[in-house]
Structures are given as C-alpha cells and as structure tokens.
Chain A
Amino acid sequence: MLAKKMKKNDIKRDPFIHLTRLPDPKARHYWFSKLISVVIALLICALITNAMAPGSFGDFFKYLGLGTFSSSLQTLRVFQDTAILLLIALALTPAFKMKFWNIGAEGQVLIGALGATIAMKFLAGTMPNALLIFVCLALSILFSIIWAVIPAIFKAFFNTNETLFTLMMNYLASGLVAYFVFVWVPNGSAVLGVINPNTHDGWLPKLFGQDYLINIITVVIITVLIFVYLKYSKHGYELTVVGESQNTARYVGINVKKTIIRTLILSGAVCGLVGFLLVNGTSHTLNADLVSGRGFTGILVAWLGHFNPFEMIFTAFLVAFVTLGGSYAGDIFRFGTAYSKVLIGIFFFVFIASEFFLRYKMNFSTEVQAFFKKIGDFFAKIFGPIGRFFKKIFTPVGRFFKKIFAPVGRFFKKLFKKKDSPKEEPVSKEE
C-alpha cells in the first residue's frame, strides 16, 4: 500500500477542468444572468470603440443613449424596429417549436411585401382606400403563405431538409423582387420610388398623428395571440408534440403532415403581415433589400428568447436599441453603418456564451481551485470592508423598497397566477 501512495504524487490526477450539467435555472438567476450579459457586452463594445477612436469610452454610452431616446421620434423608431423584429421572431416561433428550422423569414416577408406592392400599384383608384388596404393585406399574406408552405409540403411528404430549402427560397424571393422592379422600371436604375405619393392610396392611416403607432399596436396584439396559441390551444399543443417527437405524435394520432403545413401557414401569414406593414405602413415602396437581414436577426431573437413571446420582447428591444444607438454612434465616429452590425454580433455572442454558465458547472482541479481561492481571498481582503459598508447602507433601502413593492407584486402575481407556471425545482432521481 505504501508503494501505491508514493506513486500518487507522480501522477497528475485531476483533469484541469471537467463539466457537469446543472438543473434548470431559477427565474431570477436567469434574468440576473441576462442583466450581467448586457453589461458585459456593453463594456466590450465600449472597449472596442475606445480602441478604434481613443478616448471615446464614455462617449460611446452617451451616443448610444442619444441615438435612441433623445427625441420622441427616435423613441418611436426604436419601438417600431422592436415591433418589426418581434413580429418576425413571432412568425418563426411556432415553426421553431415544432423543430422546423425555418430560416426563410427574410424571403417570406419580402414576397409578402411584393404582394402588397402589386395590389397597391395596380389596384389604386379602382376601389375605396379601406378596401385597397385590406386587399394589400390579403395579397401579402397569401404570397407569404405560399412561400412558407412550399418547403413545408416537401418536409412533410419527403422529409426534405427545410433549413436549406427555406434559405434558398430567400434568394428566390429577392431575385423575384429584383425582377419585378426591373420590369416596372425598365431603365435599369432599380429604384421603384414611392408608390402613390400624392393620393396616398393604400397607405396606412396615421394613428394619433404618429407614423408607426399602428405597427406597434399590431405587434402587441400578435404577441398575446401567439402566446395564447402556443400555450392554450390544441393546435399549439399538437405542434409542440410534433416538435418533441414525431413518434409520439403518430402514437397519439396527430397528423404530422397536417400539423407541419398548418403551422407554416401561420408562420407565413405573420410574415405576410410584416411585409404589409413594411410596404403600406412604413416605406411605401419596394426593393430587394427591404427586409435588410431582419429575417435572420429575427431567428436569433426568437432563439435567444427561448421561443417565449414575452421574453422575445426583451431580446427584440435590445437588438433594436443597439442597432439604432450603434449606427448613431457609428455616424458620429465615422465608422459607417456596418459598425452596428459588429456590435450586434458581439451582443449575440455574449448572450450565447452566458447560457453556458447557466447550464453547466465547471469543476476545476484541486490546484486550480487553490489558485482561485488565493485570488478570491485577496479580493475579499480588499473588497470585504467596502462590501460591508455598502451592505450597511443599502439594506435599509432595500427593505424600504420591498415594503412598497411587495403588495404590488402580490397583486400582479394574483393577476397572472393561472397563466404563469412556477419554475420547476431540480429533481433528484430516487425511487
């Protein structure tokens, strides 16, 4: 036995790091991690900006705020962008829940916009404005549904890979739009121009004098509808079962093909609505770059929102905020428009990485742990007193706020009690 123990020192026993899976996080841990991610991502962005334009660390935050909330028009713009992104994400959510990886929102929205444009351009003046708007809506929804349902049919009947199919449909859509623009404007300038600029036929009316308000109201309604559809309707239940396991769906007699096609019709319809809002509500014109990548960003919004419509509001808002604030800052620093895309990329990366720390626990080897402990002790020595000081100050403040807000919280809890399911506790597997 002694010989064995002697040997022990020669062998590097522990691996440097090994991972174990954690139970599902609690809601408050989850949201806390999101908050931390936002802060970290902002810091990284600011540091990069500072590196490109020295001394701009503070200015970065300033312009980020100035570009988004310095005037009511800008604020509305943020919400408008949030609305469009959220709508696209909402359109994708039922399909994603069904594990149908529809990455064709870009094309589905664009083709819907084409439908709306055709109606707006050729039917203007032949009917009352209200009817024209309705026809625009109907046509754009119809176009989008067709675009979404084609891959769905092939998926349902031949199990054709839908990711690549929908991807290709994006390019077909943008090509078709380019084609029609060239047909309508044969001189090759590829600029269609504003449709019905004088009569405003087919334009969505301004609500309370605001351009984008109608979009925002629409998205609020759709968010609630999709949430209810997914959680409380039989259709929502069916598509979840299909997504989790097609075998189970067959076993309980759910028609998988029908469910796939039906869900993609819904997906397409919402995309059509987006196309309609973009053409009739916002730009009043059409070009192949109308959606400008928001179809792809919508995928990430849906994903990082874990397919929960209410969580997606947060992600969509964040993306809109960074895009607008970032491009404003980019203009000031003369970085160009692509700058905001880089920022968005950084934000997404940080968010994706943050999921890891929620789901896995890192077990370091004993040596590494000892090292970390040393560092920790060092910091504890320095920051301990400061921490205690802050604790002393803020504990009464916290209590005060708790006193005020607890009744409010209880009220809301009561209100949502039936809807919100409590987060499950980790379960030990025991007999």
Chain B
Amino acid sequence: MFVAFIRNAIRFSTIFLFGSTGEIITEKSGHLNMGTPGIMCLGGIGAVLGERLYLLTIANDVDLINPFLCVLFPLIMTIIFGALGGLFFSFLTVTLRCNQNVVGLTLTTFGVGLNAFILARVPRGAGFTYASAYFYKLFPDTVVSSTGWFGEIFLGHGFLVYLAIILAIIATIVIKKTNVGLSLRSIGENPATADAAGLNVSKYRYLATMIGGAIAALGGLFYIMDYLGGSVEYTIDRYGWMAVALVIFSVWNPSFSIFGSLLFGALYIMPSFLDGLSFADKELIKLVPYAVTILVLVVTSLFNRKETQPPAALGLTYFREDR
C-alpha cells in the first residue's frame, strides 16, 4: 500500500514538475507567464492531435502500432503547441508590449476553452488506450517485478517521469553554471543592464518563454497520455496553477521543484489511499496543497533574503527607449 502510494505520488507529481520547470525558465527571463495553465491545456491538445494523426497514418489499426512513432508524434506535437503558446505570449508582451498578467490570463482562458473545444471533437477509440501503454511503461515488467519495492517505486514509470526529472536537473545546471544561464538571469534581474552588455533581451525572452512553454506543455501530454491512459479530462488548468505556485515554493530552483512537486503530488493523491473517509473529508485533504503553498508564500516573505526573491524585473515589460 505504501509503496503504491509513493509510486503514484511520483507519477502524479510529474505533471507539476513539467509545469514548474517550464515556468521557472520563463520567469528567470522576467516573464511572469500566468498563461502556463493554458499552455498545459495546449499541450494536451497537441498530445491528442499528435496521437490522432499517428493513428490515422496506420488507419486506426492497433496491431500496426509502432512504439517509437506512437510516442514521437504526440511528443513533437505537444512541444510545438507549447512553444506556440510561448511564442504567442512573447509576441504580445515583447513585440506588442502588452501587460503580462492580462496576456497570461487571456492565454489561460483561451487554452482551457480550446482544450475543451478540440478534445471534445477528436474521436478516440481503442487506439488511444493501446498507445498510452507505451507512455506509462519504460522498463519491462520482469525487471520491475524482480527488483521488488525498489523497482516499483523507481523503475515502474513511463519515460516522461524520468524526462521531467532530467529536464529539471539540466535546467538547474544551465541556469546556474553556464554562460547562457548567466545571460538569462541577468535579463530577468535587470534587462537594461543585459541590453547594455550586448545581449538581445527580446531574443532571450522569446526563447526562454517558448522553451518554458514547450516543457510545461509536456505536463499536459503526460496527464492525458500517461496518467489518464488516453482518456480525456479538462481539468489540466487546475494543475497548471499548482505549477505556478510551485515556482515560488521552490524559490526559482528547478531542483527544489522536484521535491516540491513530489510533496504536492503526495498530498493531492493522499485521499484515495486513506480508507474510511467520507467524500467530505476527502475534499478537505485535497485542500492541503493549496494551504501549504500559502504557508510557503508567507514564510518566504517573512525571511526577506535576496537569494530567495523573485527575479527583480519579473512581470515588467522592457522597452529600451523608455525614459
């Protein structure tokens, strides 16, 4: 029971981890992208459309499914959709200099609407269920079962779970230890300085937001194709907001976000692992992650340290000729 709980927590936390890693990269460039929930919805659309496209190429014949291609199609489509979301956000905020909060919220409204609109119109059949099998399994069953609890907790996941963790670690290293990371941080802290140092602020913001969008969108792919096994639900935006909250929880560090999302995931699925609870009590337990986020917010604001503060230029539009 406990092993299954941990296993499921890790699995569920992946949605948050993708979202928060993407959002951290975005926020490091000074973009407060409140459209992340919407981008995750776009990712869901990309996943379903990609899978549908692949299934059409094999004429819905489940026997012809190629494990590699059936994963690749939705993966690429998701990344494209997420990057498009980021591109759209950047176009409005960088090129057209619109308010980031407004654009973000609009993007979320739009993404959630489009998600429900399109997913309701994509016919799904057995193909999706078959295809999703290739998402939630990476190691063969024999390996997993032969290693006991270790295997079940650490090896019994789909490749996206490992990808999320690897991406978070890579993101941390890039942000902290490389030239690109230094430039990115400087743009989020003080774009005027970065500009004077010869960095292309617009280019970095575009790229960071698009890459962040693509990573966040993977959360949508994971949710639909892995976690739900190919069936459809429209509540991705709710997890998207959790991901935005996680950015603060992990003080803009993707590595901390791995543990943060695990905690959130565990709290979120806890009700279904506790016996004898009424429906009402389960609702109460579901509130805990939100309450914890609030607690973290309050605690970090109490200890006003420079290193745990948001990027100084977060949410501000940069216009070189502003006086």
Interface residues of A (CB under 8 A from B): 19-21, 101, 103, 154, 158-161, 163-165, 167-169, 171-172, 175-176, 178-180, 182-183, 186, 188, 190, 293, 296-297, 299-300, 303-304, 335-342, 344-346, 348-349, 352-353, 355-356, 359-360
Contact = CB atoms under 8 A, between A and B. Distances in A.
**Residue from A160, A186, A190, A335 whose CB has the most chain B CB atoms within 10 Å:** A160
A172 B102 contact: no
A425 B175 CA distance: 46
A14 to B, nearest CB: 15
A338 B102 contact: no
Contacts of B280: 179-180, 182-183, 186
Given A341-B116, A353-B96, A164 B319 contact: no
A349 B113 CA distance: 14
B150 interface: no
A344 B113 contact: yes
Contact of B109 (A160, A176, A345, A359): A345
Given A154-B298, A164-B245, A300-B102, A341 B120 contact: no
A342 B113 contact: yes
Contacts of B283: 175, 178-179, 182
Interface residues of B, number: 48
Interface stretch (B64-72, B160-168, B251-259, B284-292): B284-292
A172 B290 contact: yes
Contacts of B116: 336-338, 341
Interface of B: 92, 96-99, 101-103, 105-117, 120-121, 238, 241, 244-245, 248, 278-280, 283-284, 286-287, 290-291, 293-294, 297-298, 301-302, 304, 310, 319, 321-322
Given A300-B109, A352-B103, A342 B301 contact: no
Contacts of B109: 293, 296-297, 300, 341, 344-345, 348
Report whether over half of chain A's contact residues are helix, strand or loop; otherwise say mixed. Answer: helix
A251 to B, nearest CB: 22
B90 to A, nearest CB: 13
A304 B103 CA distance: 11
Given A167-B241, A175-B286, A179-B280, A21 B321 contact: yes
Contacts of A360: 97
Nearest to A188: B279
Nearest to B116: A338
B114 A349 contact: no
B301 A345 contact: no
Contact of B113 (A19, A158, A161, A341): A341
Contacts of A165: 294, 297
11 contacts: A154-B301, A160-B298, A186-B279, A188-B279, A339-B117, A341-B110, A341-B112, A345-B107, A345-B113, A356-B97, A359-B97
Contacts of B117: 335-336, 338-339, 341-342
A245 to B, nearest CB: 16
B218 to A, nearest CB: 22
Most buried by B among A168, A190, A348, A349: A168
Contacts, number: 148
A201 B103 CA distance: 43
A101 B102 CA distance: 11
A303 B297 contact: no
Given A172-B290, A180-B280, A345-B114, 7 more contacts: A158-B298, A168-B293, A175-B283, A190-B279, A297-B109, A300-B109, A340-B113
A362 B67 CA distance: 50
B92 A21 contact: no
Contacts of B107: 345
Contacts of A20: 321
Contacts of B98: 352-353, 355-356
A34 B108 CA distance: 23
B123 to A, nearest CB: 14
A342 B279 CA distance: 34
Nearest to A160: B301
B260 to A, nearest CB: 14
Contacts of B302: 158
A299 B290 contact: no
A355 to B, nearest CB: 6
B148 to A, nearest CB: 37
Contacts of A345: 106-107, 109-111, 113-114
Contacts of A352: 92, 96, 98-99, 102-103, 106
A178 B106 CA distance: 27
Contacts of A335: 117, 121
A253 B167 CA distance: 50
Given A161-B297, A341-B113, A303 B99 contact: yes
A161 B245 CA distance: 11
Contact of A338 (B113, B278, B287, B294): B113
B318 to A, nearest CB: 12
Given A338-B116, A352-B106, A353-B92, A176 B287 contact: yes
Contacts of B287: 171-172, 175-176, 179
Contacts of B293: 164, 168
B297 to A, nearest CB: 5
A154 B96 CA distance: 34
Nearest to B97: A356
B112 A168 contact: no
Contacts of B102: 300, 303-304, 348, 352
B301 A164 contact: no
A21 B112 CA distance: 34
Nearest to A167: B241
Nearest to A103: B105
B14 to A, nearest CB: 20
